[in-house]
């Protein structure tokens, strides 16, 4: 049964391209291992770094197990509060991935909606939407996120800050990423809307909403999927950057960026592992998603197909 | 010694799942002064052979066996020799003159580059020769026009330039791959005459690849019929057209719409070689039950009055520049200019004209895809556009439907056939019961002659002709009274065209449909229509009963069109 499904997948062009690309297999394997670890962090991680009962200040600054003074109970050492680095990173990647996925979905929904409607309706509405994307693309996305973050903080009351921090972050990153989706989906919609199946739907009398989202949208999903994958890596890095700058998630629930920032203080006093391992982890995560996105772009684009 | 000798040529395209054989044991010869036609349905391997001769087969395709000899020199696997011959000894004319010239270079540069690559001439000599060539292919004022860029020429002129390029190094062989398919009838005639002329004057060998039997009949001496990469028949053109032996050749010849008479239904060749007339009958019984019996009272169904459509490139620019208005008159295109005609119940009205004559725009205006600038359209005496020029779709309630030209883009590739056909049914009959609904879908798929299994497949699994059938089923799903067919068969092979046209006639007879049939193909129009409207540059030249129009054309433009259309009968 299983081999039958495998054969069926292998038989499709995408499946064939996937199983014949070492990069795609390796990077997706790494990504899914990280994803599963972070989803089942409670089972995978040896300690719960957020439970004060398991954390002891006595264990602070333990180096990784293979270096002098290391302990087998803390594989990658501990940070300044005595938290196990390995566990903290797993929990941290969970925050990073949640923020990454949520913000990219937010950007995708907003961007695709505006892009498809702009491409289909046209006229003044299209001009306004597309000029808006142009303006926003002149502002670096990190700056945009910082700006949104700053404004949001001043609106939300002080006591709510920590609670709302993650949502603000998702909103800030999502808002800075939507123009990509709007541009790509508008361009694809312009191609699709001149095809005759759209004319046929209009002659039948279907409503514009139905034509846009039932007929056109499924036909433009491929390029959107590609930029969503690459955008996910970008969103995770943006989140880490913001957290590194101290404007991201609160220190009580550290993400990978927060961990790197903490460790940065101890980099020159000899405790390199506190910043080194989260940084490597972040690079591996972002790289695996990016490589997966690269492969997807090539595989879904018939023009780039190898002959 | 023959000019070109192809022996036992085998070409295959290995893909992941299977190896596609594009040509198998192909053998033919070509002498100087001969024009050889290669015909066949799409995918039969016509172009592959042409590309093989000049070694332009796209990888992964490869010649697996055989030989290609020019003047007894083996070309296969001899890259160096081909390099020196391609462009010099062999000239190539491509299908689409829009893309076969480099838009960034002047005509002069493109001609001189080719000439200097192959002939040992100085710049001035090459220039003089280029001007001479342009004159030879019939371009007026060649000394001046040689300084122009390709976009400054019309389609026909551009094809002349391409031919000038092909003959620039005094080739012995010209290969023309669908040289006139993208061109209008009158320009097609000129280009073919030019090719015939050059063949005689320069004693060339010419290979013309085409799917148009009229072109074959009027230009070639010898013809090859191909199917699935095999040569099924070859011989003298006259002999083959009058007395075809193989099923494929018979089917190609018999399904060509005759230009000199009107026939009731096209004849088809069944797989066992017998002549049949129609393959769809008695399929409409069920559907008539649900539709109710219809009668044609011969009343006016559709009326167009002074319809004008102006395409204005500047409209958007003016909006943005807030009144900083430039000269807006120079970009105005009158696509449809004061067109009026009437359509009576049960008849088929033909709209005929060359590209840019506004045929399709009229169809789009009637169906509400494009707003007219001026004029009125009445359906059943109700105006289809209100005073704000907004389309009132509830006035026709799905009774106007359309069949499109391109079967590859007219079906949503992400929908199963069942969903494509059922969407309009669900839209117009919201309270339909499930059994009735399924019966409706089955009736529709039956009536267009497809199997019920095909409902669960996606459009890409079907051929062009089958897709066009699905398209017809979708159009019938709303129970229309008026069916607009916009070039429904111009993307199809001739035998498939005959099937689809027969199907349309059957459906029309049994369901009492009224049709507006749009085409540039005069023989097809003659077979399909009761009355014909001839369009030129957006305005009506003449409107007449169709037999009357073909026998007695009044307007000079109509006379010209009828005189120039390629006639398969010219040889028989």
Shortest alpha-carbon distance between residue A127 and chain B (Å)? 10
Does residue A197 sit at the B interface (CB-CB below 8 Å)?
yes
Length of chain B, in residues: 572
Size of interface A-B (CB pairs under 8 A): 57
pLDDT on residue B323? 44
For B465-532, give the DSSP string.
HHHHHHHHHHHHTT--SEEEEESTTTTS-HHHHHHHHHHHHHHHHHHT-EEEEEES-HHHHHHH-SEE
* Residue A10 CB neighbour total at 10 angstroms: 13
ipTM of the complex model: 0.81
Give me the residue from B16, B58, B369 closest to A199, CB to CB. Answer: B369
Q: Is the pLDDT score of A59 beyond 80? A: no
Range scoring the smallest mean pLDDT among B179-188, B304-313, B470-479: B179-188
Q: Is the pLDDT score of B313 beyond 50? A: yes
What is the average per-residue pLDDT within B82-94?
85
The neighbouring-strand residues paired with B309 are B336
**End-to-end Cα separation, chain B, in angstroms:** 31
* Residue B475 CB neighbour total at 10 angstroms: 27
Q: Is the pLDDT score of A20 beyond 60? A: yes
H-helix segments, B247-294: 247-254, 285-291
**End-to-end Cα separation, chain A, in angstroms:** 32
Question: Across chain A, what does the average pLDDT equal?
Answer: 86
Segment (H or E) for B35:
strand B35-40
pLDDT on residue A303? 60
Give, in order, the Cα–Cα distances in Å from A14 to each of A188, A221, A298, B245.
Answer: 21, 15, 10, 45
Give me the residue from B405, B410, B427 closest to A197, CB to CB. Answer: B410
For A193, name the nearest residue in chain B, comparing CA atoms only. B409
**Contact by Cβ (8 Å): A34, A74:** no
Does residue A203 sit at the B interface (CB-CB below 8 Å)?
yes
- Side-chain half-sphere CA neighbours of B245 within 13 A: 9
**Contact by Cβ (8 Å): B272, B246:** no
Q: At CA A116, angle to CA A110 and CA A120, rounded to 5?
A: 145
The one-character DSSP state at B343 is: E
Q: Is the pLDDT score of B321 beyond 80? A: no
For B393, name the nearest residue in chain A, comparing CA atoms only. A205
Does residue B268 sit at the A interface (CB-CB below 8 Å)?
no
**Contact by Cβ (8 Å): B127, B112:** yes
pLDDT on residue A146? 86
Edge-to-edge strand list for the sheet holding B332-344? B332-344, B300-312, B374-379, B382-383
For B365, name the nearest residue in chain A, comparing CA atoms only. A203
Does residue A290 sit at the B interface (CB-CB below 8 Å)?
no
- At B286, the pLDDT band (50, 70, 90 cuts) reads low
Q: For residue A16, list chain B residues with Cβ-Cβ distance below 8 A.
A: 16
Question: Across chain B, what does the average pLDDT equal?
Answer: 84
Interface test with A, best of B371, B394, B414 (most A CBs within 10 A): B414
Tokens of B524: 């097809």
Note the Cα A26 to chain centre separation in Å.
19
pLDDT on residue B98? 79
What is the average per-residue pLDDT within A73-83?
78
Note the Cα B392 to chain centre separation in Å.
33
- Side-chain half-sphere CA neighbours of B228 within 13 A: 1
What is the average per-residue pLDDT within B434-453?
88
> For chain A, how big is the Rg over CA atoms in Å?
23
Shortest alpha-carbon distance between residue B141 and chain A (Å)? 39
* Residue B445 CB neighbour total at 10 angstroms: 22
Range scoring the smallest mean pLDDT among A48-62, B28-42, B47-61, B558-572: A48-62
List CB contacts of A261: < 8 A, sequence separation 6 or more.
A243, A244, A245, A246
Q: Is the pLDDT score of B24 beyond 90? A: no
What is the average per-residue pLDDT within B188-208?
87
Interface test with B, best of A13, A16, A123, A196 (most B CBs within 10 A): A196
**pTM greater than the 0.90 cutoff:** no
Give me the residue from A196, A215, A218 closest to B404, CB to CB. Answer: A196
Interatomic CA distance for residues A47 and A74, integer angstroms: 9
Contact A215 B369 (CB under 8 A): no
Question: If you search the block for the tokens 């038989």, which residue do you land on?
Answer: A11
Does residue A196 sit at the B interface (CB-CB below 8 Å)?
yes
What is the average per-residue pLDDT within A270-299?
89
pLDDT on residue B320? 46
Length of chain A, in residues: 307
Give me the residue from A16, A202, A307 closest to B59, CB to CB. Answer: A307
Tens of pLDDT, residue by residue over A183-213, are 999 999 999 998 999 999 999 888 999 999 9
Contact A203 B400 (CB under 8 A): yes
The neighbouring-strand residues paired with B349 are B516, B531
């Amino acid at each position: 049964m299983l081999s039958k499904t495998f054969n069926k997948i292998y038989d499709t062009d995408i499946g064939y391209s996937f199983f014949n690309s070492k990069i795609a297999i390796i990077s997706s394997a790494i990504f899914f291992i990280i994803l599963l670890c972070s989803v089942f962090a409670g089972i995978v991680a040896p300690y719960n770094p957020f439970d004060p009962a398991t954390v002891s200040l006595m264990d602070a600054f333990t180096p990784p197990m293979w270096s002098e003074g290391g302990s087998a109970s803390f594989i990658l050492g501990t940070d300044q509060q005595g938290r196990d680095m390995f566990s903290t990173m797993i929990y941290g990647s969970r925050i990073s991935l949640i923020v990454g996925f949520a913000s990219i979905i937010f950007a995708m929904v907003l961007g695709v909606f505006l892009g498809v409607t702009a491409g289909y309706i046209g006229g003044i509405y299209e001009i306004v939407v597309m000029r808006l994307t142009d303006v926003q693309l002149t502002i670096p996305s990190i700056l945009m996120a910082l700006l949104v973050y700053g404004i949001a903080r001043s609106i939300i009351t002080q006591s709510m800050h920590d609670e709302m921090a993650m949502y603000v972050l998702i909103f800030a990153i999502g808002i800075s990423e939507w123009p990509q989706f709007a541009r790509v989906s508008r361009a694809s919609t312009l191609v699709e809307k001149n095809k005759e199946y759209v004319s046929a739907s209009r002659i039948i009398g279907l409503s514009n909403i139905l034509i846009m989202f039932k007929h056109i949208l499924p036909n433009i999903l491929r390029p959107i999927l590609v930029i969503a994958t690459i955008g996910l890596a970008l969103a995770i890095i943006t989140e880490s950057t913001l957290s590194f700058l101290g404007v991201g998630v609160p220190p009580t629930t550290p993400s990978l960026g927060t961990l790197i920032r903490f460790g940065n203080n101890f980099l020159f006093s000899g405790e390199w592992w506190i910043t080194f391992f989260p940084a490597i982890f972040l690079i591996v995560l972002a790289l695996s998603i990016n490589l997966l996105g690269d492969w997807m772009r090539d595989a879904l684009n018939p023009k780039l197909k190898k002959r | 010694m023959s000019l070109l000798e192809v022996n036992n040529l085998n070409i295959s395209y290995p893909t992941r799942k299977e190896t596609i054989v594009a040509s198998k044991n192909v053998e033919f010869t070509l002498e100087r002064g001969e024009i050889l036609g290669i015909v066949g349905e799409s995918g039969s391997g016509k172009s592959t052979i042409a590309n093989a001769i000049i070694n332009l087969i796209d990888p992964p395709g490869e010649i697996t066996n055989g030989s290609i000899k020019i003047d007894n020199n083996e070309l296969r696997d001899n890259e160096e020799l081909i390099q020196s011959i391609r462009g010099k000894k062999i000239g190539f004319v491509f299908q689409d003159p829009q893309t076969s010239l480099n838009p960034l270079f002047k005509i002069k540069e493109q001609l001189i580059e080719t000439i200097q690559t192959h002939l040992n001439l100085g710049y001035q000599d090459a220039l003089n020769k280029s001007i001479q060539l342009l004159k030879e292919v019939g371009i007026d004022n060649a000394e001046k026009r040689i300084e122009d860029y390709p976009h400054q020429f019309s389609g026909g002129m551009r094809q002349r330039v391409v031919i000038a390029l092909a003959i620039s190094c005094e080739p012995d062989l010209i290969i023309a791959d669908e040289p006139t398919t993208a061109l209008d009838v009158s320009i097609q005639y000129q280009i073919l005459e030019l090719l015939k002329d050059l063949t005689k004057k320069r004693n060339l060998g010419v290979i013309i690849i085409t799917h148009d039997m009229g072109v074959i009949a009027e230009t070639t001496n010898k013809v090859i019929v191909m199917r699935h990469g095999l040569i099924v028949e070859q011989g003298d053109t006259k002999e083959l057209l009058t007395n075809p032996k193989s099923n494929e050749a018979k089917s190609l010849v018999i399904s060509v719409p005759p230009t000199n008479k009107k026939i009731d239904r096209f004849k088809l060749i069944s797989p066992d070689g017998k002549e049949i007339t129609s393959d769809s009958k008695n399929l409409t019984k069920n559907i008539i039950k649900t539709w109710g019996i219809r009668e044609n009272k011969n009343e006016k169904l559709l009326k167009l009055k002074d319809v004008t459509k102006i395409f204005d490139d500047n409209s958007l620019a003016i909006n943005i520049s807030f009144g900083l208005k430039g000269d807006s008159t120079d970009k105005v295109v009158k696509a449809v200019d004061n067109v009026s005609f009437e359509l009576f119940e049960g008849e088929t009205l033909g709209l005929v004209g060359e590209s840019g004559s506004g045929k399709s725009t009229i169809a789009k205006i009637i169906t509400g895809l494009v707003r007219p600038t001026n004029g009125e359209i009445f359906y059943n005496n109700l105006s289809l556009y209100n005073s704000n020029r907004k389309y009132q779709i509830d006035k026709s309630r799905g009774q106007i439907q359309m069949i499109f030209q391109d079967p590859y883009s007219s079906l949503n590739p992400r929908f199963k056939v069942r969903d494509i056909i059922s969407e309009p049914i669900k839209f117009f009959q919201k309270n339909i019961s499930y059994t009735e609904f399924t019966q409706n879908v089955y009736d529709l798929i039956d009536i267009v002659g497809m199997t019920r299994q095909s409902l669960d497949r996606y459009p890409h699994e079907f051929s062009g002709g089958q897709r066009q059938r699905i398209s017809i089923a979708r159009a019938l799903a709303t129970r229309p009274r008026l069916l607009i067919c916009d070039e429904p068969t111009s993307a199809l092979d001739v035998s498939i065209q005959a099937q689809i046209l027969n199907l349309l006639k059957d459906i029309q007879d049994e369901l009492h449909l009224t049709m507006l049939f749009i085409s540039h193909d005069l023989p097809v129009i003659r077979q399909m229509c009761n009355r014909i409207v001839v369009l030129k540059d957006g305005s009506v030249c003449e409107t007449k009963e169709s037999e009357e129009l073909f026998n007695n054309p009044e307007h000079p433009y109509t006379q010209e069109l009828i005189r120039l259309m390629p006639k398969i009968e010219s040889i028989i």
